Amino acid sequence: MSQITETNDPSLQDYLTVALGDDLFGIKVALVHEVLDPPAMTRVPNAPAFAPGLVNVRGNVLPLIDLRNRFGMEPTTDTESTRLIVSEVAAAGETFHVGIKTDAVFEVIHVRAAEVEAMPEYGTRWPSRYLDGVVRQDGRFVVLLDVERLLEDA
C-alpha cells in the first residue's frame, strides 16, 4: 500500500481504491471506519438482494451491502482478497455504519476536485445515481462511489 500523507489543500480528497472484478472504485477515506476480512453473514428474510443480510463486527450488527449485486454483476465466492469496508453513512437524519463487500482493497489516492469528471449517462454499465464521478489515476479510471446513495431503495 502507498504511504498516506496529510495535506492542508482543501481541493484534495482522499479515496480508498477497491476492486470489483477488473474495475476500480473509490470510497472517500473520511467515510471509511475500517477494512476487515469479511465475517459470516446472517441472511435477512425479504431483504433487498443488494443488502442480503447482517454482519457482526465486534459486537455491532451492521447491514451488508454487496457491491457486485448492487451493480448487477455476477456473484462470486469470497477469495483471500475479499474485504469488508465498514463505512459511515447518513440516511433519514441518522448516522450509522454499514459493511460494504468488495473483491479487493488497494491503496489511498489523492484526488483534486478539478480532476473529477461526471460519469457519462451512456456507455457505462454502472448506474450513475450511485456515483460521484470518475478520475484518471495512473492510466486507469477510478469510479468514485456515493456510499449513501448505495442504500437507496433499501
| In the chain, % of residues over pLDDT 90 | 62
**Bridge partners, residue 117, by sequence:** 134
Mean pLDDT of all residues in the chain? 88
User: What stretch of H or E contains 67?
Assistant: helix 67-70
**pLDDT by residue (tens digit) across 109-147?**
999 999 999 887 776 777 778 888 999 988 899 999 999
What domains lie within the chain, and their CATH numbers? 13-151 (2.40.50.180)
Within 13 A of 112's CA, how many CA atoms are on the CB side?
Answer: 3
Helix, strand, coil share (%) of the chain residues, nearest 5: 10, 50, 40
Residues 138, 84: Cα–Cα separation, whole Å = 25
Q: What pLDDT is stored for residue 121 in this prediction?
A: 72
Three-state SS at 118 = coil
Residues 114, 128: Cα–Cα separation, whole Å = 19
Confidence of residue 103 (pLDDT cuts 50, 70, 90): very high
Three-state SS at 38 = coil
pTM across the whole model? 0.86
**pLDDT by residue (tens digit) across 60-86?**
999 999 999 988 889 889 999 999 999
